[in-house]
Structures are given as C-alpha cells and as structure tokens.
Amino acid sequence: MEPRVWIIGADHWTRAALRAELIERGYDAVGFVHLKDAVAELVISPHRRPRLIILDLQDQSVDERPLGTLFGAAIPMVAVAGATGAADARVRNLAWAAFLRRPLTLGAIADAVGRLVRIPAPAR
C-alpha cells in the first residue's frame, strides 16, 4: 500500500501538479483546499490518516485551532511558504518536519517528501 500524503493548498493548479508528481513517485496523494477540510477528514476518518501533510501557506488562513489539531495528531508536516509566510515567527517556529521556502520546484517538494516518508520496497 502506498504511503498516503495530504496536500493542503488553495491554488488548484499547484496542488494538482504536486499531487500528480507524488502519485508518479508512488504515493497516495490526496488534496485539500483548506486546512479545515483536512482536519474534518482526520476527525471523520481517523483510520485513513496520512503519513505526511504538506501545507502550502500561500492564501491559507492559518488558524491556530485546526493547525493545533493536525500537530496534535503527531503527523509530520511540511510547510511551503513565500517570503511573507517565512517571516511570520508564530508560523515559522512551529514543529515542522521541514520548512521549505519559495522559490522552489514541485520536484524539490516531492524530494523532501521522499526524505521523510520512504516508499516500501516491492514484495518479491
């Protein structure tokens, strides 16, 4: 079974392209537009929790409550931020598994996922 990775990002095209890249690399990638949507999925279906969450901070309302719920679930999280998001100390200083700053490629984000979540070797 492929490791599940959630992508939370407001931009449809970026989210879709990253999802396609991760699927190509062997992950079960699932996209969400808003942070609250991912939290709702975690509450409704805790048995389908991801191994990693990527949160694109651009155009995202970073509310402490849903963010706290995700961090409280002990799921490693990767932040992707531009200059504004990276400058926000209350966001920057959270316990991210990785904090990636733009400009960067979708491949660089997928590489970070690969360092944090290994794809199991195929059974022989």
Query: Does some domain include residue 73?
Result: yes
Q: One-letter amino acid identity for 42?
A: L
**Confidence band, pLDDT 50/70/90 cuts, at residue 18:** very high
| Residue at token pair 């504004």 | 84
Query: Does some domain include residue 64?
Result: yes
Which of the 8 DSSP states describes residue 74?
T
- pLDDT digits 0-9 by tens, 87-101: 777 788 889 999 999
Domain at 33, CATH number: 3.40.50.2300
Query: Does some domain include residue 71?
Result: yes
Report the number of distinct structural domains present in the chain.
1
- Mean pLDDT for 99-121 is 93
Distances (CA, A) of 107 to 19, 23, 111: 11, 12, 6
- Mean pLDDT for 9-20 is 96
Query: Does some domain include residue 123?
Result: no
Query: Does some domain include residue 124?
Result: no
For residue 54, give its domain range: 4-9+18-116
Residues 2 and 12: their CA atoms lie apart, in Å, by 23
pLDDT on residue 123: 64
Residues 22 and 124: their CA atoms lie apart, in Å, by 24
Nearest Cα residue to 53 out of 33, 76, 73: 76
Query: Does some domain include residue 75?
Result: yes
Query: Does some domain include residue 121?
Result: no
Query: Does some domain include residue 105?
Result: yes
pTM of this prediction exceeds 0.85: yes
Lowest mean pLDDT among 15-19, 85-89, 114-118: 85-89
Bridge partners for 96 per DSSP: none
- pLDDT digits 0-9 by tens, 38-92: 999 999 998 899 999 999 998 887 777 888 899 999 999 999 998 777 777 778 8
Residues 22 and 27: their CA atoms lie apart, in Å, by 5
